[in-house]
Amino acid sequence: MTTSAKINAEKDSLFVKTETDHNISKGHENKLYSPSRLQIAWKVLWTALVIFAVALLFMKIHLPKPAITTDSHVLDDWKATKLHSFERPKEHLYHCDSTVYSTSRQLYFNVTQDSSGTRWWLFNEMSPRPDINKSLRGRIEVERGDDLQTSDIELNFTRRGSHRKFVENVAYAWSDSSFGMLYGPQDSEDACVEVDVIIRFRPSPARTLDIFKIYSELLDIRMDGRPTWEIKQLIMHTSHGTMEYDGVHRDDPLQLHNVTASSVSGLIFGHFVANAHVKVHNSRGRSGVILVPNYSAPFNPESISVTSDSGEIHVELVLPYWPPQPLSHTTTVYSESGDVFAAVPHGTVTNITTGTGKLTAVVFPYGTDSQDAKSEIYTSSRSSSTWVRVASSDPESLEGRYDPLLRTRSVHKVGEGQLKLWYPHGWLGTLEGWYGNGSLAFNPIPWDDVRFHRDLNCVWARRGWVEHSHAQARVNKGDLSVEVGWN
């Protein structure tokens, strides 16, 4: 029995193929009425319009709409629901009810240009028991300095509060390449201390730091990406404050090679240049990561990692400005129990996973220099709704290069829930789909060969040759929907 016959034999088939034979009889002309050529042409046009309208109605009812397109406005459909729901942190205005004492200190640092040793600078704020010590508030701000600045790094440290003894309880010290502060526990519920730390980089001459590190328990961190310096490794951590990195500047941007940002319960938001390694981890707080290219120089992503234990994750690339170049990086996006939204550039391996949160993933491939370049895509969720879209490879990146969608290995798993999967028209290969204790939505039209195994709750299908790509989609308990052929 052929595949088409098997499908028609199943009562629960999702697609029923019907054929209509149109028999045209010749030689039976109506001698009493002979229509003009204009009338015949009008009838033919009217019939064609009716058929076209019926076809559009059928497609609208029976075929799911693609959630996105692959042009420069690919994320427009999500902006109202996703991008705008993750706004950048609002500036906190810290004001004690009463400020009776204030003091400031200006410090100056210079960076050695001796390349024989490690060139580094460190800011460290330590507060014992930060979970209960709520009387300290404030911010650390890193920005571009004035052109007339005479030192490489200028630090302005301001303390103010409701009582002098509370303010003086903020101890601090410094060295040639570091500044540290310590805030001890307060025994008064009325204690209130505000701290402002402003770190300014001199624009010229531009300096190079091997390591620039900011560590804080309670303070907010905001870093501007306009300094013209080069930082080989940027490390930022705030346990309970808000973190923001602004790396969207085109003019004289900060040259970053490796970024590590972390928090325990605070909010992380930033436009991070995806050069070398980008690593973001937030234990319980929300993370919003916008991946941007290096606007002023070539860049080479090596790894992108955005993870959380229970926090929500939103990560996406700035698609209209992403250069059409080959990529060989790895991408890992994971949250154990938080929702995950990821629209990321695909390199060699892309892995997007959540334990119990909702998962929305969009993968953007780019042309490769080698026909055998590694290309693997993985998505996984134990118990949630999962929405996965693989976009068409960037057309400019394919000029003189190979399409990775012809040699991609991908696995999509859902333990209990729903899996909706879209693959583009340029994808060729075989698909194996399992849907345990659920239903299957599968359009056989774009495929060259389709085999349903209803007794095993699985489907096997092929487009192109077997040695092309291979995809697996598995739902242990729930519904599976697969669409192939969207551009």
Which of 256, 288, 303 represents a domain boundary (last residue)? 256
Residue 455 is assigned to a structural domain of this protein: yes
Burial degree of 202 (CB within 10 A; 0-12, 13-18, 19+): buried
C-alpha of 451 from chain center:
35
Number of separate domains in the chain: 2
380 and 419 in contact (C-beta within 8 Å)?
no
For residue 250, what pLDDT band results from cuts at 50, 70 and 90? low
- In sequence order, what are the residues at sequence separation of 6 or more whose Cβ sits closer than 8 angstroms to the Cβ of residue 38? none
pLDDT given for residue 215 in this prediction: 97
The residue segments making up the domain with residue 384 are: 322-487
Residues 248 and 387 placed together within one structural domain of the fold: no
Which of 228, 256, 284 represents a domain boundary (last residue)? 256
Give DSSP secondary structure letters for 292-319: E--SSS---EEEEEEEESSS-EEEEE-G
Residue 349 is assigned to a structural domain of this protein: yes
Mean pLDDT of 309-331: 94
Residue 294 is assigned to a structural domain of this protein: no
Report the C-alpha gap between 219 and 138 in whole angstroms: 5
Burial degree of 466 (CB within 10 A; 0-12, 13-18, 19+): exposed
pLDDT given for residue 360 in this prediction: 96
Mapped onto helix, strand or coil, the DSSP state of residue 61 is helix
In 328-468, the DSSP E strands lie at 330-335, 340-345, 349-354, 359-364, 376-381, 385-390, 409-424, 429-435, 440-442, 449-453, 458-463
Residues 444 and 339 placed together within one structural domain of the fold: yes
Mapped onto helix, strand or coil, the DSSP state of residue 91 is coil
C-alpha of 118 from chain center:
33
Q: Tokens for 276? A: 């070398």
Residue-wise pLDDT for 441-456, tens only, equals 998 989 999 999 988 9
Nearest CA to 224 out of 205, 252, 195 is that of 252
Report the C-alpha gap between 417 and 278 in whole angstroms: 31
For residue 255, what pLDDT band results from cuts at 50, 70 and 90? confident
pLDDT given for residue 136 in this prediction: 86
- Model confidence, pTM: 0.81
Residues 246 and 339 placed together within one structural domain of the fold: no
Residue 7 is assigned to a structural domain of this protein: no
pLDDT exceeds 60 at position 68:
no
DSSP state of 79: I
pLDDT exceeds 70 at position 242:
yes
Residue 8 is assigned to a structural domain of this protein: no
pLDDT given for residue 79 in this prediction: 38
Residues 372 and 251 placed together within one structural domain of the fold: no
Residues 336 and 463 placed together within one structural domain of the fold: yes
Residues 326 and 251 placed together within one structural domain of the fold: no
Residue 156 is assigned to a structural domain of this protein: yes
Amino acid of residue 329: H
Residues 341 and 433 placed together within one structural domain of the fold: yes
- In sequence order, what are the residues at sequence separation of 6 or more whose Cβ sits closer than 8 angstroms to the Cβ of residue 216? 123, 125, 140, 237, 238, 239, 241
- In sequence order, what are the residues at sequence separation of 6 or more whose Cβ sits closer than 8 angstroms to the Cβ of residue 437? 457, 476, 477, 478
Mapped onto helix, strand or coil, the DSSP state of residue 46 is helix
Helices (H) and strands (E) in the chain, counts: 4, 32
pLDDT exceeds 80 at position 42:
no
Residue 4 is assigned to a structural domain of this protein: no
Q: Tokens for 282? A: 């937030």
Q: Tokens for 184? A: 């001890």
Measured CA distances, 78 to 100, 304, 342, 386 (Å) = 49, 22, 12, 16
Q: Tokens for 54? A: 């019926």
Residues 129 and 241 placed together within one structural domain of the fold: yes
Residues 197 and 342 placed together within one structural domain of the fold: no
Measured CA distances, 25 to 29, 47, 232 (Å) = 9, 18, 80
For residue 46, what pLDDT band results from cuts at 50, 70 and 90? low
Mean pLDDT of 347-355: 98
Residues 205 and 117 placed together within one structural domain of the fold: yes
Report the C-alpha gap between 17 and 5 in whole angstroms: 10
Mapped onto helix, strand or coil, the DSSP state of residue 192 is coil
pLDDT exceeds 60 at position 427:
yes
Residue-wise pLDDT for 93-123, tens only, equals 556 777 889 999 999 999 987 777 779 999 9
pLDDT given for residue 135 in this prediction: 83
For residue 283, what pLDDT band results from cuts at 50, 70 and 90? very high
Nearest CA to 125 out of 196, 211, 217, 57 is that of 217
For residue 486, what pLDDT band results from cuts at 50, 70 and 90? low
Backbone angles phi, psi at 70, to 5 degrees: -110, 20
Task: Write the Ramachandran bin of 380: left for phi over 0, alpha for psi from -120 to 50, otherwise beta.
Answer: beta
Task: Tell me which of 46-50, 107-111, 156-160, 168-172 is least confident.
Answer: 46-50
pLDDT exceeds 60 at position 131:
no
Report the C-alpha gap between 320 and 44 in whole angstroms: 44
Task: Tell me which of 189-193, 385-389, 479-483 is least confident.
Answer: 189-193
Backbone angles phi, psi at 291, to 5 degrees: -90, 125
Residues 220 and 346 placed together within one structural domain of the fold: no
Task: Tell me which of 13-17, 273-277, 347-351 is least confident.
Answer: 13-17
Residues 114 and 251 placed together within one structural domain of the fold: yes
Task: Tell me which of 65-69, 299-303, 320-324, 346-350 is least confident.
Answer: 65-69
Nearest CA to 339 out of 395, 417, 434 is that of 417
Mean pLDDT of 158-174: 92
Residue 117 is assigned to a structural domain of this protein: yes
Residues in the chain: 487
pLDDT exceeds 50 at position 307:
yes
258 and 232 in contact (C-beta within 8 Å)?
yes
Name 156's bridge partners.
106, 198
pLDDT given for residue 26 in this prediction: 37
Backbone angles phi, psi at 396, to 5 degrees: -65, -35
Average pLDDT of every residue of the chain: 83
Which of 204, 231, 256 represents a domain boundary (last residue)? 256
